[in-house]
Amino acid sequence: MSTALRPNLLGLSPVKLTALLEGMGEKPFRARQLMRWIHRRGVLDFGAMTDIGKSFRERLTLETTLAPPELVSRYDAEDGCVKWIIRAASGSSVEMVYIPEGGRGTLCVSSQAGCILDCSFCATGKQGFDSNLTAAEIIGQVWLARRELGSFENGGGPPVTNVVFMGMGEPLLNFDNVMDAVDLMLDDHAYGLSKRRVTISTAGVIPGLERMRGRTDVALAISLHAANDELRDELVPLNRKYPIAMLLEATRAYMADLGEHRVPLIEYTLIRGINDHRRHARELAALLADFPCKINLIPFNEFSEVSYRRPSASSIGKFRKILQDAGHLVTVRTTRADEIAAACGQLTGSVHDQTQRRERFLRRLDGEASLDERPAGLIHSARDDSRQQAESQGTG
How big is the chain by its Cα radius of gyration, in Å?
A: 22
Residue 375 DSSP label: T
The whole-chain average pLDDT of the chain stands at 87
Determine the pLDDT at residue 353.
Answer: 60
Determine the pLDDT at residue 337.
Answer: 56
Task: Give the whole-angstrom CA distance, residue 380 versus residue 394.
Answer: 21
Determine the pLDDT at residue 295.
Answer: 98
Among the listed residues 26, 81, 95, 234, the single catalytic one is 95
Query: Given CA atoms 371, 373, 376, 378 in this order, what sign does their dihedral have?
Result: negative
The predicted model gives 218-229 an average pLDDT of 98
Helix, strand, coil share (%) of the chain residues, nearest 5: 40, 15, 40
**Chosen CATH of 3-63 out of 3.40.50.300, 1.10.357.10, 1.10.150.530, 1.10.1760.20:** 1.10.150.530
Determine the pLDDT at residue 365.
Answer: 46
Domain range list for the chain: 3-63, 70-392
Backbone φ and ψ of 301, nearest 5°? -100, 115
Determine the pLDDT at residue 345.
Answer: 47
Tens-place pLDDT, residues 226-249: 999 999 999 999 999 999 999 999
Residues 317, 297: contact at Cβ < 8 Å? no
Instruction: Give how far Cα 186 sits from Cα of 175, 181, 327, Å.
Output: 16, 9, 33
Q: pLDDT at residue 261 above 70?
A: yes
Tens-place pLDDT, residues 14-73: 999 999 999 999 999 999 999 999 999 999 999 999 999 999 999 999 999 999 999 999
Determine the pLDDT at residue 117.
Answer: 93
**Chosen CATH of 70-392 out of 3.30.200.20, 3.90.950.20, 3.40.50.410, 3.20.20.70:** 3.20.20.70
The predicted model gives 150-174 an average pLDDT of 93
Could you give the residue ranges of the DSSP H alpha helices within 92-174? 135-149
Q: pLDDT at residue 394 above 60?
A: no
Q: What amino acid is encoded at 113 in this protein? A: A
Q: pLDDT at residue 339 above 70?
A: no
Determine the pLDDT at residue 302.
Answer: 86
Among the listed residues 115, 119, 293, 344, the single catalytic one is 344
Tens-place pLDDT, residues 361-377: 455 545 544 434 333 33
Q: What angle do CA 254, 194, 138 make, to 5 degrees?
A: 80
Tens-place pLDDT, residues 74-125: 999 999 999 999 999 999 999 999 999 988 999 999 999 999 998 999 888 7
Instruction: Give how far Cα 214 sits from Cα of 111, 174, 309, 376, 391, Å.
Output: 21, 17, 40, 40, 27
Q: CB-based contacts of 88: which residues, under 8 Å, 6+ apart?
A: 69, 94, 113, 130, 131, 133, 137
Determine the pLDDT at residue 384.
Answer: 39
Q: Is-catalytic flag, 95?
A: yes
Tell me, rounded to whole angstroms, the distance of Cα 52 from its chain centroid: 35
Top pLDDT among 217 and 337 is at: 217
Percent above pLDDT 70 for the chain:
84
Nearest to 346, CA basis, from 308, 378, 300? 300
Number of continuous H segments (helices) and E segments (strands) in the chain? 12, 12
Task: Give the whole-angstrom CA distance, residue 10 versus residue 105.
Answer: 22
Q: pLDDT at residue 390 above 70?
A: no
Q: Is-catalytic flag, 137?
A: no
Backbone φ and ψ of 147, nearest 5°? -65, -45
H or E element that contains 95: strand 93-101
The predicted model gives 344-370 an average pLDDT of 52
Residue 198 DSSP label: E
Burial profile 344-361: b = 16 or more Cβ within 10 angstroms, e = fewer? bbbbbbbbbbbbebbeeb
Residues, the chain, total? 396
Determine the pLDDT at residue 66.
Answer: 98
Residue 378: band (very low, low, confident or very high) from pLDDT cuts 50, 70, 90: very low
Residues 220, 254: contact at Cβ < 8 Å? yes
Top pLDDT among 141 and 78 is at: 141
Percent above pLDDT 90 for the chain:
74
